Every structure is written in structure tokens, then in C-alpha cells.
Amino acid sequence: MPIIGFDIIGDIHGNSEKLHKLLNKLGYTKNNNSNGYTHSERKVIFLGDFIDRGPQQLDTVLTAKAMIESGSALAVMGNHEYNAICYATPNPHQPNDYLRTHLGDTGKKNFQQHAAFLNGVQHDAVLYDELISFFKTLPLWLEIEDIRIVHACWNVQKQKQLRPYLTNDNCLTETGIVESAKKGSTAFEATELLLKGLELTLPKGVKFQDADGHERQSVRVKWWDSTANDYASLALLPEAITQTLPKDTIPNLDAYRYNEDTLLFIGHYWLTGKPRPLSSNVICVDYSAGKGGDLVAYRHDIGQPFYNHMYVST
């Protein structure tokens, strides 16, 4: 039977109990001989960030992996899968270290952010290598039927710049992994944008304190908003902070806006509240499942007009 649509699922972050509940709610059936689920007429598309934070790391990854390998799901890479790859990949330019450093205070921070996944696989080096290899098979973006999928930000210019470092399926090559980890390189800047979103430096002298008390001089920006042009309106921050930001027009913002008609799905942004589209053609399905929120899916029927078909795990 042909596939009539896709169920696009947001960032799971090791909360497989929510994933199983959501798949059941969407009408998927558990396979008896694997970790995966199937549906007679639909496929899942995962937005990445399977790992870190939650208590069910292995079950989450193995469920998604089984579904992808059986053909009942697709997925793109999240920044946490990318970080896992870099954490496991020796740095050819820095002997005795890795692309995502294990050394010093930064190494301690990197380990803490990644500890839930590392603790889940520490008993089995073969499984760890297998899962890192699986993460490498995840494309940075998908264009399938009448929709587009990327973890954090769609940008044609950056996608073109990455082309020399990608396979035909938009996966990073081994050279691309190394090059994308070099701060300041073209591949680094492009990968950062696609997997972590648009972050812009504030005007000189402007800074604020984040929720952890750290001083910041840059802000993550709502690149999907075509109606605003200044830092105060576009910063992805609590209102108490945005009110302190300047209303200076952000230069060169048009290079990052999404002005195309094709429906685009993203994750990454830890949204809260009732799930709703970000704009007429951009939908985020990350509603903080890794911080106690719901795991969210959007049910899309191929060739059908956009409707607000959001489903949650509760």
C-alpha cells in the first residue's frame, strides 16, 4: 500500500516512554521481532536529537534505528548526534584529543552535556561504535515529496557551501566531519547554522545575562519571522530580556529568512505551551520533551493543504 503521509516527530532526548506513547497514539504497531514500529500507510520523520538528558537513551536510539533500517521512518541529524560523532572522533590536528574536546574545563562541560548517552553505552564498546556509525548515516536535511526537514535552520547558501563535504544523501563525509569541527571554517559555519540555528552578535557594548547567570553578547534569532527586523523583536529570549535589547535593524537578515512556499519542519528550539506553527510555512515540533514537556508530532498528508495537525505524547 502506498504511503499517504508522514508523521514528523520532534526532539526525544532519551525519553522513549513518550516516544512509545506517541507512536501508539498515531496508530503505529510494535514489531514483534525488533525495537521498531510500523504503519500501513504512513512513515515517521524524526527531527534528530534522540540522545542526551533523558533516562532511556538506548531504547530511544534503538527504536528509531530499527524503524529507519526497516523503512518505516526517516530522520535528519540533530546537533546532539553531531556532537556525539565529534566526541567519538579523534582530532587529527590535536594528538590525544577529539574533535569535541575531552580536555580541560571545556572537556568537563562536554562530558556533562553528553553523560546520559555515554553512561548508557559504557558497558558495550561495540554498541557504542555501532551507534556512532548510525549517527553518521543521518542526513543534514531532507527534501521529500512536498516538505522539507532540517533540525534547526534551512539555508540554501549554507547547504551549497557544504556540498563538497557531503555524500549524495546529504550526510557528512569523514572529511566533512573533521572540516566542520574547525572553528571559523566554511563547513563549521554552515553546519552550526543548519544544526543549531541563527545566532547573531549584538551591537557593541550590548550584553545580557542568561538564565544560568552567564553574560552573553549574542542572541539566537527567529529567522522564520518575516515581519520584524530588529534585535528586540527577533531574539529568542524571555520578554524581560528582549525589552532591554536595542531596536537596531539587523544587517543582512534577508540572507537568512525563509521566503519559500514549501512547508518546512524544524526541531531544536525547546518551545513550550500549546503546539502551533511558527509561521504559515514553518512548523517546529520540539516542545521540550527533554525538559518535562510533551513529545510532539505533526501529521502531514502528502499533497494536502497545511492544517494544524499537532499530536502530543500525553
State pTM to two decimals: 0.95
CA 106 to CA 97: how far, in whole Å?
12
Q: What is the pLDDT of residues 96-125, one digit of tens each?
A: 999 999 999 999 999 999 999 999 998 999
User: pLDDT at position 1, please?
Assistant: 66
Residue 224 lies in a domain: yes
Residue 175 lies in a domain: no
pLDDT band for position 304 (50/70/90)?
confident
pLDDT band for position 11 (50/70/90)?
very high
Residues 216 and 100 in one domain: no
Residues 145 and 226 in one domain: no
Residue 134 lies in a domain: yes
pLDDT at residue 214 greater than cutoff 80: no
User: pLDDT at position 248, please?
Assistant: 85
Q: What is the pLDDT of residues 121-169, one digit of tens each?
A: 989 999 999 999 999 999 999 999 999 999 999 999 999 999 999 999 9
Residues 67 and 208 in one domain: no
pLDDT at residue 259 greater than cutoff 90: no
Residues 213 and 97 in one domain: no
pLDDT at residue 295 greater than cutoff 70: yes
pLDDT band for position 53 (50/70/90)?
very high
pLDDT at residue 275 greater than cutoff 80: yes
Tell me what the mean pLDDT of segment 189-194 comes to. 98
Residue 193 lies in a domain: no
Tell me what the mean pLDDT of segment 283-295 comes to. 96
C-alpha 218 chain-centroid distance: 20
- In the chain, what percentage of residues exceed pLDDT 70? 99
Q: Are strands 282-284 and 263-266 parallel, antiparallel or unpaired?
A: parallel
Residues 227 and 101 in one domain: no
Residues 251 and 266 in one domain: no
pLDDT at residue 215 greater than cutoff 90: no
Domain count, the chain: 2
Residues 277 and 138 in one domain: yes
Of 208, 226, 255, the domain-final residue: 255
Tell me what the mean pLDDT of segment 69-94 comes to. 97
Tell me what the mean pLDDT of segment 283-296 comes to. 96
Residues 217 and 86 in one domain: no
Q: 23-37, 58-72, 150-164: lowest mean pLDDT where?
A: 23-37
Domain that holds residue 98: 5-155+262-312
Q: What is the DSSP string of 289-303?
A: GGGT---EEEEEETT
CATH number, position 31: 3.60.21.10
Residues 234 and 307 in one domain: no
Residue 64 lies in a domain: yes
pLDDT at residue 307 greater than cutoff 90: no
Residues 118 and 241 in one domain: no
289 against 31, higher pLDDT: 289
Residue 272 lies in a domain: yes
- In the chain, what percentage of residues exceed pLDDT 90? 78
Of 255, 271, 297, the domain-final residue: 255
- 219-223 long-range contacts, CB within 8 A, separation 24+: 219/245, 221/197, 221/250, 221/253, 221/256, 222/278, 223/153, 223/197, 223/198, 223/253, 223/256, 223/257, 223/258
pLDDT at residue 288 greater than cutoff 90: yes
Residues 207 and 120 in one domain: no
Average pLDDT, the chain: 94
CA 160 to CA 49: how far, in whole Å?
24
Residues 293 and 230 in one domain: no
Tell me what the mean pLDDT of segment 244-263 comes to. 89
Tell me what the mean pLDDT of segment 199-221 comes to. 86
User: pLDDT at position 222, please?
Assistant: 95
Of 232, 255, 278, the domain-final residue: 255
* Angle, vertex CA 19, rays to CA 15 and CA 23, nearest 5: 175
pLDDT at residue 299 greater than cutoff 90: yes
Residue 166 lies in a domain: no
Sequence-separated (6 or more) residues with CB below 8 Å from residue 147 = 6, 8, 262, 263, 264, 265, 300
Tell me what the mean pLDDT of segment 64-69 comes to. 97
Residue 87 lies in a domain: yes
Q: Which residue, among 25, 70, 78, 7, has the nearest Cα to 49 in the 3D structure?
A: 78
CA 19 to CA 217: how far, in whole Å?
36
